[in-house]
Amino acid sequence: SFYFRPCSEDSSYETIDILPDIASSPSIKLTDDTPVSNRTEPLTGEEFQSFLDQDGRLVNEIGLRKAIFLGSVDSSIRKQVWQFLFGLYPCTSTKRERDALLIDYIIKYHELKNRWKTMLVIDSKPGDTEIKTKYTPRPLDLSLLDQTNISEHINTPDMEQKIEFMKIQAQVYVQRQRLDIEELKNQIRVIDKDVPRTDRDEEFFRGAGNPRLTELREILITFAGFSPDLGYAQGMNDILARFLYVMGSEVETFWCFYHYMEKIKEDFMEVGMVKKIELVKMLLGEIDNSLLHHFECHDMGNLFFCHRWLLLGFKREFTFQDSLKCFEILSSQHLELSSMEAETAVRREEMKEFANTGDLVLYLFFWLSFLKLF
């Protein structure tokens, strides 16, 4: 007998002369009592508040991750949620602590940016006024703090002293970073080719001279400059565009991006990406072995076509708005079955099988011997 399935290449039906592999069943059979939740509506602001305590700590992180996994997030609270999800702020931080952390983020980013700008000016030819005006370091901008509780204390002598101290700390931190200016100039060339072609169909990035493009550019240069082992790679612009759209401010976007890249930087290295695709292959073998076999028959068994999906979290496969949902769901890292639950489900299946064969004595004997071990 033949097995039919739509062919992805030309959407016609084609005949595959192999049978689906019925003999090899997945190790966990999903039955009615396997705990699998239904999809829900996006998480609302009210529900999100219920995960926080009165000081603003995220006390129910597991609950939040599960809610995101099942239904994504309402766009009105997306920024707040992503701050936790992508590690901008620790879940255990209070609102007050987050405000303090934000000042630190602002100052550090400011110093990082000034460092490469200054170095580009020093490196430029004496008469090059264009570079000088383009890269003259700007004064520290603390306007981002206006929305926080700090805003009213910002001009007190106490606070000013604190900020001065933080500046010095940040300068020490930045001076310690390695920065290869020649290499950075190469990276800037690639960045300048990619930024103008990043999500330009989106209203947010549309139009000539859109200031968002400058923000993308400066974040990417800062990141590339201070990540010597990784630098800039094509695709980072796509990832960054999502963060900038959601976070809005350049500083918060940089640090979200920075933390996210820390986690996934292996994807931008060949070994890491090949390993990841290999995992997809194993997973597909488990879930739909005949599909994997089909790919193998068509010289696509290595599944390299997943590369972009995995690297960008399906960003190019969906509309921009849907890709945001997709991104947060993928990043929720909620496991529908924890390893304990999976173990229990397997046990339950084994028990059923024993019960079905009717060999109850053997079954009891098995469990008794098991218990005796303890």
Stretch that binds another protein, among 4-12, 175-183, 350-358, 365-373 (CB under 8 A): 4-12
Question: Would you tell me how many other CB atoms lie within 10 Å of the CB of residue 313?
Answer: 22
**Nearer to another protein (CB atom), residue 263 or residue 316:** 316
Q: Is 209 in the site for another protein (CB under 8 A)?
A: no
Q: Is 330 in the site for another protein (CB under 8 A)?
A: no
Please select the residue that binds another protein; options are 30, 282, 283, 297, rule is CB under 8 A.
297
**Residues touching another protein, count (CB under 8 A):** 36
Q: Strand 13-16 vs strand 3-6: parallel, antiparallel, or unpaired?
A: antiparallel
Non-local CB neighbours of 191 within 8 Å, separated by 6+ positions: 217, 220, 221, 224, 232, 237
Please select the residue that binds another protein; options are 237, 323, 331, 332, rule is CB under 8 A.
237
**Nearer to another protein (CB atom), residue 164 or residue 183:** 183
Q: Is 311 in the site for another protein (CB under 8 A)?
A: yes
**Nearer to another protein (CB atom), residue 308 or residue 334:** 308
| Minimum distance from residue 103 beta carbon to another protein (Å) | 35
Residue with structure tokens 């076509």?
Answer: 305
AA letter at 11: S
* Ranges within 14-53 binding another protein (CB under 8 A): 14-17
| Minimum distance from residue 235 beta carbon to another protein (Å) | 5
Q: Is 9 in the site for another protein (CB under 8 A)?
A: yes
Stretch that binds another protein, among 101-109, 151-159, 171-179, 305-313 (CB under 8 A): 305-313
| Minimum distance from residue 332 beta carbon to another protein (Å) | 23
CA angle in degrees (0–180, nearest 5) for 20-26-30:
110
State the Cα–Cα distance between residues 267 and 307, nearest whole angstrom. 9
Please select the residue that binds another protein; options are 132, 134, 153, 193, rule is CB under 8 A.
193
| Phi, psi (rounded to 5 degrees) for 267 | -60, -25
Please select the residue that binds another protein; options are 132, 138, 263, 316, rule is CB under 8 A.
316
Please select the residue that binds another protein; options are 274, 279, 287, 330, rule is CB under 8 A.
274
| Minimum distance from residue 172 beta carbon to another protein (Å) | 32
State the Cα–Cα distance between residues 329 and 284, nearest whole angstrom. 20
End-to-end CA distance of the chain: give it in Å, rounded.
Answer: 52
Q: Is 238 in the site for another protein (CB under 8 A)?
A: yes
Non-local CB neighbours of 236 within 8 Å, separated by 6+ positions: 220, 223, 261, 268
State the Cα–Cα distance between residues 175 and 88, nearest whole angstrom. 23
State the Cα–Cα distance between residues 40 and 24, nearest whole angstrom. 32
Between the alpha carbon of residue 285 and those of residues 1, 230, 294, 352, the distances in Å are 22, 32, 11, 25
| Minimum distance from residue 58 beta carbon to another protein (Å) | 33
Stretch that binds another protein, among 166-174, 235-243, 283-291, 331-339 (CB under 8 A): 235-243
Q: Is 197 in the site for another protein (CB under 8 A)?
A: yes
Interior/surface letters 12-42, b for 16+ CB within 10 angstroms, e for the rest: eeeebeeeeeeeeeeebeeeeebeeeeeeeb
The CA-based diameter of the chain, rounded to the nearest angstrom, is 93
Instruction: Mark residues 48-87: x for contact with another protein by CB under 8 A, - for none.
Output: ----------------------------------------
- Label residue 151 left, alpha or beta by phi (over 0 means left) and psi (-120 to 50 means alpha): alpha
Please select the residue that binds another protein; options are 114, 198, 253, 332, rule is CB under 8 A.
198
Q: Which residues bind another protein (CB under 8 A)?
A: 2, 7, 9-10, 14-17, 190, 193-194, 197-200, 233-235, 237-238, 268-270, 273-274, 297-299, 302, 304-305, 307-308, 311-312, 316
